[in-house]
Structure 1
């Protein structure tokens, strides 16, 4: 079963899409910087729901069909985005959910688990980072210089030209893709077209998350977490090198780590099957026994 709704919170309206059957364990998918819910492909969601999961994906603030701020002027921070996740669970009457966060969505998910541990059944952190406990004296490697140069030299799109914006999104997808596999430009461009068409303000979508005021570092609090945690990270992540994922797995008590040998930043369709299998296994309840609907994730 699939349904869509707009969740109205005090400070934002968020567009949410649900897959699967009510009563199944809830998996809340949290997208990354500048990414709407299409970062979680519909096919990915359907295959996850086929494993008897109630899957929720949503447009975060400034993306897709959710509330937008003027370009360059977001009126929220990561703690507000964490509160939004709780607001969605409240709206769906969900007491506890499995959170799956991608990139910045992984940071938001960590903050949710620290602030509301009773609401989080498990964490899955994909292409994410704990950040540095002291940003003035970093211990984690930054985005490689070559990647920074490519991003810096890329011309801004013409925001009123949908084709120009789609080209820019494809450029970002190519930059983030892992090595060792062919880049699927058709898949990227088709998704880029849909992202642009459904955005309330595409300039705000692709820029405002970078203007969000930083919050106090939380890395030192990670040992407080008692939430079952799975870390998934690409071996060839060009934005957040693998050391970021390794730090999460090391510093969250009992966390397990899965490295995607050909993975970059984000989820390539070539990695969906193992990732879905990992998530289903990680979110399995004792009553379920063996991995449900294993054939659905091949």
Structure 2
């Protein structure tokens, strides 16, 4: 897996195929190789697929931890710059989708389109993680729950 130095981060990435670039950004703790079996295998015939290991995951090393979403976006933009990619389709899963959103906000000239899977509307990572953690704790203590409204106060145990 090749790498490129972005500041104090050694960013690992992989490439397959040729054509319009697609940058694949994994979720928390996942390596870019998560995309290989289905997505890259399907798209590499028509696209240049670039998968990245985010700071703190896969083979990427360096940089302060925990990073902000803006840090991760800057890292990925650095890979895009190092590979001299034209505007790319950017695909993210979970945290990767927040990174894709941040790339589009920081460098809209680098993003041709964005696919955001399992995303959230704000890059306020701490609040998102707190909500996620709280819902997991609730399920552990009280069993699965369903939503009866749009807020956590509308959640109740399943009957």
Shorter-chain TM band: 0.7 to 0.9
Partner of 1:40: 35
How far apart, CA to CA, are the structure 1 residues paired with 2:123 and 2:66?
24
Secondary structure at the counterpart of residue 101 of structure 2: helix
- Give the one of 23, 36, 42 matched to 1:28: 23
Question: After superposition, where does 1:144-183 map in structure 2 within 5 Å?
Answer: 147-149=136-138
Give the C-alpha shift of residue 36 in structure 1.
1.4
1:65 to 59, 71, 89: 59
Point out 4+ residue stretches in structure 1 off by more than 2 angstroms. 41-44, 142-152
Deviation for aligned residue 1:82: 0.5
Shift of 1:5: 1.2
Question: How does 1:244-255 map onto structure 2 within 5 Å?
Answer: none
8 A Cα contact 2:91 2:97, kept in partner = yes
- Partners of 1:88 and 1:7 in 2: CA distance: 7
Matches within 5 A, 1:241-280: none
2:87–2:109 CA contact under 8 A, matched in 1: yes
Question: Is 1:87 the equivalent of 2:84?
Answer: no
Tell me how far 1:38 sits from its aligned partner.
2.8
What SS is found at the alignment partner of 1:40? Answer: helix
Equivalence for 2:47: 53
Counterpart mapping for 1:202-241 below 5 A: none
The aligned counterpart of 1:107 is 98
Distance across 1 between alignment mates of 2:33 and 2:71 = 21
Distance 1:27 1:149, change over 3 A: same
RMSD over aligned Cα atoms: 2.9
Distance in 2, Cα, partners of 1:151 & 1:96: 44
- Report whether the alignment pairs 1:117 with 2:108: yes
Aligned residue pairs, count: 140
Corresponding residue of 1:17: 14
Question: Structure 1 residues 145, 9: closer, same or farther in 2, change over 3 A?
Answer: closer
Instruction: Give the one of 2, 7, 11 matched to 1:5.
Output: 2
SS in structure 2 of the partner of residue 41 of structure 1: helix
* TM-score, normalising length: structure 1: 0.42
Cα displacement (A) at 1:112: 0.8
